[in-house]
Amino acid sequence: MQYKKIPARFIYFFGAFGGILFGYDIGVMTGALPFLQNDWNLHGDAAAIGWITSSVMLGAIFGGALSGQVADRIGRRKTILIAAVIFVVGSILSGVVPHDGTVYLVIVRTGLGLAVGAASALVPAYMSEMAPARLRGRLSGLNQTMIVSGMLLSYIVDFLLKDLPDPWPWRMMLAMAAVPALVLFIGVLRLPESPRFLVRTGHLDHARHVLTLIRPADSVESELQQITETAAQEEKANARTSWATVFSGKYRYLVIAGVGVAAFQQFQGANAIFYYIPLIVEEASGAAASNALMWPIIQGVILVLGSLLFMAIADRFNRRTLLTVGGAVMGISFLLPAVINWINPATNPMLIVVFLSIYVAFYSFTWAPLTWVLVGEIFPLSIRGRASGLASSFNWIGSFLVGLLFPIMTAAMPQQAVFAIFGVICLLGVVFIRTRVPETRGRSLEEIERTETRQLSVAGQAASTVSTPSSHTKES
């Protein structure tokens, strides 16, 4: 297939749009849920609310895990196009679900989650392979901004559709998620396959042709050679790597650190706010959740501003410093409302929403973006593929469980108590950062691996030294 010369801006735009698509679907249920709840009379059914909300994340667990294998077989571009089609169909089916069709909606949204997981994993990877080297860092830095911008866009769309006659608001909100997926499909349809995939599958001439479309002529051969050498190195690394290697003593420390950070990011409860903020405001104020759709927009604006702040300060502070400060403030923001309510039960319950906004502000420029920066930096080449996939799976599992269990927990105990539990988890995350996670800022992957291996070796020698005198004592 012949393609026209592709402007870098075009690639850059759709690299950003993949994040918008991902963020849009994360946020769209926030505004739709109050109307769906009223239409289907789900106010007393916490389990149904949890399953409807979290089913996308359940599908994303498998979509993210399977997408890499599918993409290695048929290509990144084709897999993204398939995911976009599933996304369009799933969004439309979500909007036309039969009345009281809870099981139907859960099944449809689980299928939609397959596309969400695939898109979240593949679109940034494909675009980073396609974009010129000078744009890759910008793509990586903008990914979080685009995700939260997609969330904000969904909140605004939800707000604009809220005055439609029943039952159209929630149906249109869910169906409108097909629009960004359709835009992504049309855009990627114009793009060729990734040169890196073509090299890995032995299509060097095709890869060279694609590079001539997206690179200056004098850099094509040198980049092709670099891609070929890197692919050969990764193939050797993958051939020597198994799951036993990932969990071996040499790498176990780094795997625990990376996977632990990814898991803590979700179990700290951020998605409980993003998915359920109208219901949280309803519980606190007594006003109908369908009238509280300005609050998601406020949270979305905070997220976007926080992501921009992160881009400005990311390389000025250590990763562990930002995660420690963020986690500590987040934990305190969750715990203080419970403490204040315990001291003075007459306190205005809307105080919790103020503290949640403080939580979102610090989460937006610390744990939200830094989790994936750290995961990208901490794993050595030999285990990077498997370990990164494992971290992503734990992150999706945490997102699914928080989305499922939050309404069930709030039905069984006061909101302040639920958020206090998340606050304790935030503080445990800080302890984890300080004790288990190495600093990665300004250090190459090889330096991180050498340092941690050396520390493990020193620890092993110390243990051996301690045991030696005891054995001599026994003999004497």
| 332 or 442: which leads in pLDDT | 332
pLDDT band of residue 475 (cuts 50, 70, 90) is very low
Please report, for the chain, how many H helices and E strands are present, in that order.
20, 0
Give the residue-averaged pLDDT of 252-281.
93
DSSP annotation of 247 reads T
pLDDT band of residue 256 (cuts 50, 70, 90) is very high
pLDDT at residue 178 above 90? Answer: yes
Closest CA to 181 of 107, 123, 141: 123
| 324 or 146: which leads in pLDDT | 324
**What is the structure's pLDDT at 295?**
92
What distance lies between CA 165 and its chain's CA centroid?
34
| CA–CA gap between residue 395 and residue 190 (Å, rounded) | 32
Concatenating the DSSP letter of every residue in 411-475 gives HHS-HHHHHHHHHHHHHHHHHHHHHH----TT--HHHHHHHHHHHHHHHHHHHHHHHHHHHHHHH
| CA–CA gap between residue 222 and residue 419 (Å, rounded) | 54
Give the residue-averaged pLDDT of 258-273.
94
- Judge contact between 119 and 83, C-beta under 8 A: yes
Judged by average pLDDT, the poorest of 258-267, 338-347, 413-422 is 338-347
Tell me the per-residue pLDDT of 70-101, one tens digit each, with 9 for 90 and over.
888 898 889 989 999 999 999 999 999 999 99
Give the residue-averaged pLDDT of 125-137.
69
7-191, what's its fold?
Answer: Growth Hormone; Chain: A; (1.20.1250)
**What is the structure's pLDDT at 446?**
56
Q: What is the radius of gyration, based on Cα positions, of the chain?
A: 24
Q: Which amino acid, residue 22?
A: F
Q: Helix H segments across 241-293?
A: 243-246, 252-267, 270-285
Give the residue-averaged pLDDT of 327-348.
93
pLDDT band of residue 135 (cuts 50, 70, 90) is low
Q: Mean pLDDT, the chain, as a whole number?
A: 85
Phi first, then psi: give them for residue 174, nearest 5 degrees: -70, -40
Phi first, then psi: give them for residue 193, nearest 5 degrees: -70, 155
Top-level CATH class of 241-460? mainly alpha
pLDDT band of residue 473 (cuts 50, 70, 90) is very low
**What is the structure's pLDDT at 423?**
97
pLDDT band of residue 346 (cuts 50, 70, 90) is confident
**What is the structure's pLDDT at 296?**
93
Phi first, then psi: give them for residue 216, nearest 5 degrees: -60, 145
pLDDT band of residue 458 (cuts 50, 70, 90) is low
**What is the structure's pLDDT at 54?**
94
- Judge contact between 126 and 77, C-beta under 8 A: yes
Domain ranges of the chain: 7-191, 241-460
**What is the structure's pLDDT at 137?**
52
Exposed, middle or buried, 90 (CB in 10 Å: 0-12/13-18/19+)? Answer: buried
